[in-house]
Amino acid sequence: MNSEQRHTFFSQLKANNPSPETELEYSSPFELLVAVLLSAQATDVSVNKGTRSLFKIARTPSEFLKLGEEGIRPYIQHIGLYRTKGKHLQEACRILVNKHHSTVPRTREELEALPGVGRKTANVILNTAFGEPTIAVDTHIFRVSNRTGLAPGKDVNEVERQLLKRVPTEFLQDAHHWLILHGRYTCKARTPDCAQCIVEPLCGYRHKTSKGKIRGNI
């Protein structure tokens, strides 16, 4: 995909969804941090199911610490790896209270120093909470980037590097959300909905399959 095609690609996504947003429910950077930490290997639907009730009784690091792991558990036990995530939440809250005056830090280094927070989670916080032009490569973005030819890479770090170089600057702020939503609802893993895809004419996957090659799951 050349630069002109990439510009058209994101222009189409923007026209279809001018103001994309995360599907995680939150009302503060801290709530977003909690939701993203819980979302690892889990769906946004399952996370929202728990946080809707949890955030009614605890909305700050101090309130989470008062609840403790046992107090949080009933709200997150339907989410995968909930015991580990509950422990990480408590440890992260303790650091936020003791080192950051109960506020979520705005630097990558400080975010990644929090238990359970890796590069992808930090990128989500920086982009969604603080407006930084970062891209958190999850399974959807990895698939879309490779399948379409937008930013091929063997691992998430390589795809992230390619995206930061290839996404036109004017689209970089919202690219993260457009690509996730496109992968979640259109460019799905097993059965991509190519017939309904607004960027299908630009897609490398389309050209491969039109030549009679077998469709593989990417």
Question: Which positions are catalytic?
Answer: 120, 138
CB atoms within 10 A of CB 50: 21
Query: For residues 215 and 117, what is the distance between their CA atoms, to the nearest angstrom?
Result: 35
Query: For residues 50 and 14, what is the distance between their CA atoms, to the nearest angstrom?
Result: 31
Q: Contact at 8 Å (CB) between 102 and 62? A: yes
Query: For residues 11 and 140, what is the distance between their CA atoms, to the nearest angstrom?
Result: 19
Query: For residues 62 and 182, what is the distance between their CA atoms, to the nearest angstrom?
Result: 37
